[in-house]
Structures are given as structure tokens and as C-alpha cells.
Amino acid sequence: MNWDKMKDEALKYLQDYLKIDTSNPPGNEIKGALFLKGILDKENISTRIYETSPRRGNLIAKIEGNKGEKPLYLLNHIDVVPVDREKWEFEPFGGEIRDGYICGRGTQDMKSMAVVQLMVFILLKRENLSLNRDVYFIASADEEKESILGIVQLIEDIPDVFTPGYVITEGGGGTRGVFTEDDRVIWGIGVGEKKPLFLHLEVKGEAGHGSQPHKNNPNELLVKALNRVLEYKQDEAVISLVEETIRKLGKLPDNKFVNSMTKNTVTVTTLKAGVGEPPMENVIPSLSTASLDCRLLPDINPYEFIENLGKIIDDDRVKIKPVKIPEDVPVSPYDTELFQIIEKAVSKKYPSSVIVAILTPYATDSRYLRNKGFVCYGFTPTVTTKEDLSLMHSDNEKIAVEEFYNGIELLYHIILKFCQKS
């Protein structure tokens, strides 16, 4: 195989994919789905675009193998989060290469992973390999907003495609400086994840003139409530999966990624108030709202969490409205053949690294599949520094080009070992 030629091809695909703005909202994932379909069509791979709503496209492609083994799903999502262009040092949808990095929204979450999976999928076809199972490439919509127009509707509408099997998707990978203070590469493979609970806080008060303060100002009531929430110290509740990670690595460092694995977290993500557009500085509004992004450990009851939040706020004028109550999601077993193959392949390419099963501190499409009996592994086959990892959903997102190349080769050998007939 000519790896150099393949890498050039992959990089061009990624650059072109990054130039397609699939920010959600509004999504427009159909543009990304059509782009991927054009590539797969050239390889004579049968694909299907499934539009769950106008312009909300999902793509499903399949390479048939022997039906004796459970299928493998290479799952990624097309949508990305929006950008604040003024904060970016480069065009967020330009696919620019700078100082050894490919830059743009989606390089980490998760268009680079999509192209890594795409190239491995194409190589399986080009090599005309005899496979012991069906292999799917699925690019879904709406992952950044609850996945309702993506994997959720796909599972419901086309159940014949989703036979419980194995899934490789986002939610883990290789890192430096995240799980340890030293420079070791730690491979955290996501086998479970925290539950996302999104809450709206709403305060109705008394409108008035800004020059005449009063005690029923909804902005002030909301600020006091938020201060109580943010000052409340969430107890650490290390679950068995995290305890195992600690046993393998030792004391974990104090950083935002690790801390979010050991406790429930609450983040204020939106604040909205004011009268007029733009809002008038001299008017007290009658309504003030905020959004909270709460991430719960797997064994936490969301109803009890909301009840406790109400006790912390201790003000009946502040109404707590859940957007959606999350379901309990099982942890995927990590004593499987696929997990062992991943371990061996990673150890061969990165001999001094450590591989651990982890709790992913954020939510992915895996939560919907694990509840249907799928074994899901969060495994992005690239190594990322703590600094670069912090750019996910932030400004100036980027990934090292060399790591992108390494990821293709690593994932290819894993899939080949798992899917090729003996």
C-alpha cells in the first residue's frame, strides 16, 4: 500500500470537508452528507442519504462481509458547534494548514475522525478483503443538539441497519498531560459516559425604570440563584470505572477534564434578559432566564439532582425547567476481543503508553446505542496535548497533521485485525 499517496488524499478530503459549514444550529448536514457520498460513489461503495428533516442529512454506507460475526459501525457526526469568528486567528471554515496543524471548526469534534474512518473504510474496499462481518460507515446529523434528527431517528426508522454490534466513535483517545503530570501518552478508551441534563432557570419579576431599584428585579434574583449554585461544592463520587483508572495511573492531576470525571458538574451556558433589541440599559425586564449544562455521574438520579438544586437555590420565584431527563446508560464491557485488539495495536505503535478504560465526561451518540445493546468504544486514534484538547468547542480548533496521518494507519490495523477472515 502506498501510504504517502493515501495520506495526501486523506488530507485533501479533510481540508475540503472542513470548508463545509455544518454549524448546528442550523445544521445543514445534507451538504456534508453529499460531500461524503461523492467520495464513496467514486469507490463504488453503496451509500444512502437519510434526510430526517429538510437539509438535515445523515449518511449510511456498508461493506458486506460474512454474517457470522456482529457488525462493526464506524460512527461519526457531520454537525459542528457554531463559532465566534472574531476570536479566531484563522478562517474557521478554511481548512488551512499552519505550522504542522490543520485548522478549523471540526478538526477535533469530529471531522478529522470522520475522515480517518472514511479512509479506513475505503481501504477495506480497495483491498477487496474478505471480511468476517458487515462494516458500516455512518455520518450522523444533530449530535451537538441531542441527536434527535440523527442517530435517534435512524435507530427508530431503519432498525434493520442497527443490529447490536460494535461501535467505534468519539469519546476517548490518546492524550499527553491530561491524566498525568508527565509527558506519557495515556490512551483513555471511553466505555461509559456522564449523563447530560440541560436545565432552564426562569425568573419572572417586576418591570420598571432602571433608576428606581426594587426587590423584585428578575435579573438580581437570578444572579443570586446562580451564585448559590456555583458556590455549592459538588461532592466527589468516584465510581468503580474511575477507581480503576486511578489504580492504573495513580493520583490524577487537577484539571478540568479529570475533575469532570469524578463529580457532577454544573456550568452556566446562557443568560438572557432585557427589553428591546438591542436591550435598553435603563429598563428593568420582567423576565430573566439562564441555561445550565449539568453532567451527572452514571448512578445519579436526575430527579433527585434537580430537587437538590432547588434546595440550594432556596427561592420559589426561580423556576427550574428540565429540557429533557436523561436515561440511565450502561457501561460497555471492556473484556472483548475488540478492546484487546485496540490495546495491542496501540501498545505496538506507542510502546511506552498506558491504555485505560475511562468514563467520558461528556455525552456522545453512544448513549443511545449502548441502551440498545451495542458495545461502544470512544476511541479517536490520535494523540492530543492538553492544550490542543482544550480547543474542542472553543476558538482556534486544530489538530496536528502528523497525528491525523498516524490515526489512519492505527485504525486501519485495528479494523483489519478485527474484521478480516482468519
pLDDT-based confidence at residue 238 (cuts at 50, 70, 90)? confident
Q: Which of 304, 324, 344 is the last residue of a domain?
A: 324
Which of 368, 295, 358, 332 lies closest to 138, judged by CA? 368
Same domain, 242 and 272: yes
Compute the distance between CA of residue 198 and CA of residue 294 in angstroms, rounded to an integer: 6
What are the angstrom distances between the C-alpha of 277 and each of 206, 273, 280?
Answer: 19, 11, 8
**300-335 pLDDT, tens per residue?**
999 999 999 999 999 999 999 999 999 999 999 999
What pTM does this model have?
A: 0.93
- Residue entry with cell 436545565: 199
What CATH number corresponds to the domain at position 247? Answer: 3.30.70.360
The set of residues, in sequence order, having a beta carbon less than 8 Å from that of 215 and lying 6+ positions away, is none
Same domain, 312 and 340: no
- Using the predicted structure, report yes or no on whether residue 233 has a pLDDT greater than 90: no
Same domain, 201 and 248: yes
Same domain, 133 and 263: no
**79-119 pLDDT, tens per residue?**
999 999 999 999 999 999 999 999 999 999 999 999 999 99
How is 124-176 classified by DSSP, letter by letter? Answer: HHHTT--BSS-EEEEEES-GGGTTIIIIIHHHHH-TTT--S-EEEEEEEEEEE
What CATH number corresponds to the domain at position 364? Answer: 3.40.630.10
Same domain, 309 and 407: no
Same domain, 302 and 374: no
What's the mean pLDDT in 221-229? 98
Strand partners, 76: 139
**246-282 pLDDT, tens per residue?**
999 998 999 999 989 989 999 999 999 999 999 999 9
How is 26-83 classified by DSSP, letter by letter? Answer: T--HHHHHHHHHHHHHHTT--EEEEEEETTEEEEEEEE---TTS--EEEEEE--B---
Compute the distance between CA of residue 397 and CA of residue 388 in angstroms, rounded to an integer: 8
**Which residue segment(s) compose the domain that 141 sits in?**
3-193+330-419
Q: Write out the three cell numbers for 212.
A: 428606581
pLDDT-based confidence at residue 234 (cuts at 50, 70, 90)? confident
Q: Which of 295, 324, 353 is the last residue of a domain?
A: 324
Query: Do residues 131 and 420 make contact, with C-beta atoms less than 8 angstroms apart?
Result: yes
Same domain, 53 and 162: yes
Averaged pLDDT of the chain: 96
How many domains does the chain contain in total?
2
- Using the predicted structure, report yes or no on whether residue 75 has a pLDDT greater than 90: yes
Same domain, 305 and 358: no
pLDDT-based confidence at residue 177 (cuts at 50, 70, 90)? very high
Q: Which of 299, 324, 349 is the last residue of a domain?
A: 324
pLDDT-based confidence at residue 421 (cuts at 50, 70, 90)? confident
